[in-house]
């Protein structure tokens, strides 16, 4: 394939679009809000899905042999493209949706290639020269949702289960504590106590609200509390408070990274062939080194049995926090469209 591929990255906040060249270059990038249940609270899921399909189809140019790669923020069957659920897009709706059929019905002139957004990000990250010698790479995204994927670099293969899924860690049971007490919050999927309920972007905001209610005086006196009271958006307020080493902000970050560390600790314990854990997503990019420092703090305090004692650097050298563009789902959508999905 030598011509440009139109690529989309559909997330719980934005739809990003670009033209991807087989050499890896992304051109004509744009971004616009996604049609989600939060943005359109009165819309049915069917209406939201129709908005999404119309948005994608109407922005694909009408050219001969058009190929489109779609990175989609949902749990989906990688063998068929069937979408099972997307809590950031559609909330607690879980009726399967044939996205490829809907797109093809509206634009039958297009060859549609659909992959999960985490798979797409992993395909791009794993293609980096420095990872070519790895046995396995695990990529976890912490954003409006949470998920991970593992690729076997030796076979260029992302294994899936009988439903075509892998790594939906955001909906694993998890525990969290705030102000010395356990906390239970609902996930966007409608069920309580999932990892995403505490550690996703919306989950962190809910955890902050819980902390403000449990410790109102400390919240009001903290830099994080004062910044939000002044009208600063939560994400910017949290980053600024962390930059200032605000004690309450650091406590909040420790609380929301601890459940993520628990999952990664288990993954590395079960599969020591994972040579690198790559962290990406809006939360990770927004908080940068603060996120890794909090995560590694928990992994240091509660590491791998014996391994952390005998070779403490083993975990340290395996955790990488990416910057924007280093694990780009747009580029991964192009890779998948060009070479097929390694599943």
57: which 2 tokens? Answer: 């189809």
Kindly tell me the number of DSSP H helices and DSSP E strands found in the chain.
Answer: 15, 14
Does residue 293 have a pLDDT over 70?
Answer: yes
Residue 248 belongs to some domain of the structure: yes
What is the per-residue pLDDT across 56-88, written as a single tens digit (0 to 9) for each? 999 999 888 899 999 998 889 988 889 998 888
Lowest mean pLDDT among 131-140, 302-311, 327-336: 302-311
Does residue 259 have a pLDDT over 70?
Answer: yes
Q: Which residue segment(s) compose the domain that 14 sits in?
A: 5-119+327-339
Neighbouring CB atoms inside 10 A of 285's CB total 19
One domain, residues 28 and 133: no
One domain, residues 79 and 170: no
Name the pairing type of β-strands 66-72 and 5-10.
Answer: parallel
One domain, residues 154 and 62: no
Distance from C-alpha of 169 to C-alpha of 166, rounded to nearest angstrom:
9
What is the pLDDT, as a whole number, of residue 342?
A: 41
One domain, residues 152 and 169: yes
Residue 124 belongs to some domain of the structure: no
Residue 137 belongs to some domain of the structure: yes
Distance from C-alpha of 189 to C-alpha of 168, rounded to nearest angstrom:
12
Output the CA torsion 168→173→179→185 (10° steps): 80
Distance from C-alpha of 121 to C-alpha of 142, rounded to nearest angstrom:
12
One domain, residues 149 and 216: yes
What is the pLDDT, as a whole number, of residue 341?
A: 44
One domain, residues 96 and 154: no
- Top mean-pLDDT range of 4-18, 144-158, 242-256, 290-304: 242-256
DSSP 140-166: EEESSSEEEEEEETTTTB----TTS--
Q: What is the mean pLDDT of residues 178-205?
A: 94
The dihedrals phi and psi of 118, each to the nearest 5 degrees, come to -75, -40
What is the per-residue pLDDT across 199-236, written as a single tens digit (0 to 9) for each? 999 999 999 999 999 999 999 999 999 999 999 999 99
Distance from C-alpha of 295 to C-alpha of 286, rounded to nearest angstrom:
15
Alpha helices in the chain (DSSP H): 45-58, 87-90, 99-106, 117-126, 195-199, 201-214, 216-221, 223-229, 234-243, 247-270, 282-287, 289-301, 307-310, 313-316, 329-339
One domain, residues 270 and 298: yes
Distance from C-alpha of 214 to C-alpha of 163, rounded to nearest angstrom:
41
Q: What is the mean pLDDT of residues 127-131?
A: 92
What is the per-residue pLDDT across 145-166, written as a single tens digit (0 to 9) for each? 899 999 999 999 999 999 999 9
Q: How many domains does the chain have?
A: 2
Q: What is the mean pLDDT of residues 173-194?
A: 94
One domain, residues 29 and 144: no
Does residue 181 have a pLDDT over 70?
Answer: yes
CATH code where residue 260 lies: 3.30.420.40
One domain, residues 192 and 253: yes
What is the pLDDT, as a whole number, of residue 80?
A: 87
Residue 270 belongs to some domain of the structure: yes
> What is the DSSP secondary structure assignment for residue 169, as one 8-state letter?
G
One domain, residues 239 and 286: yes
One domain, residues 139 and 111: no
What is the pLDDT, as a whole number, of residue 340?
A: 54
Residue 174 belongs to some domain of the structure: yes
Residue 208 belongs to some domain of the structure: yes
One domain, residues 133 and 217: yes
Query: What is the reported pTM?
Result: 0.89
What is the pLDDT, as a whole number, of residue 94?
A: 81
């Amino acid at each position: 394939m030598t011509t440009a591929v139109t690529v989309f990255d559909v997330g719980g906040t934005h739809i990003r679009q670009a033209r991807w060249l087989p050499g890896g270059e992304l051109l004509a990038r744009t971004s616009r809000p996604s049609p989600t249940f939060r943005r359109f609270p009165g819309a049915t899921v069917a209406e939201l899905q129709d908005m999404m399909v119309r948005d994608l189809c109407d922005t694909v140019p009408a050219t001969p042999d058009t190929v489109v790669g779609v990175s989609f923020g949902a749990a989906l069957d990688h063998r068929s493209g069937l979408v099972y659920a997307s809590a950031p897009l559609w909330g607690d709706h879980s009726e399967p949706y044939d996205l490829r059929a809907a797109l093809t019905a509206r634009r039958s002139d297009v060859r549609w290639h659909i992959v999960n957004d985490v798979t797409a990000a992993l395909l791009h990250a794993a293609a980096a020269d420095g990872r070519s010698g790895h046995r396995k790479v695990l990529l976890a995204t912490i954003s409006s949702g949470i998920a991970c994927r593992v690729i076997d670099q030796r076979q260029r293969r992302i294994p899936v289960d009988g439903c075509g899924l892998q790594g939906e860690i955001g909906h694993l049971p998890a525990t969290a504590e705030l102000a010395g007490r356990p906390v239970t919050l609902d996930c966007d999927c409608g069920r309580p106590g999932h990892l995403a309920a505490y550690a996703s972007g919306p989950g962190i905001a809910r955890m902050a609200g819980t902390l403000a209610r449990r410790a109102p005086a400390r919240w009001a006196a903290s830099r994080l509390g004062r910044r939000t009271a002044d009208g600063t958006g939560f994400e910017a307020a949290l980053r600024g408070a962390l930059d200032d080493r605000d004690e309450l902000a650091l406590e909040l970050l420790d609380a929301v990274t601890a459940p993520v560390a628990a999952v990664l600790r288990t993954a590395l314990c079960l599969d020591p062939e994972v040579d690198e854990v790559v962290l990406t997503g809006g939360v990770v990019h927004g908080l940068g080194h603060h996120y890794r420092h909090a995560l590694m703090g928990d992994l240091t305090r509660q590491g791998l049995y014996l391994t952390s004692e005998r070779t403490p650097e083993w975990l340290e050298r395996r955790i990488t926090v990416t910057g924007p563009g280093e694990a780009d789902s747009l580029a991964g959508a192009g890779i998948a469209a060009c070479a097929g999905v390694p599943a």
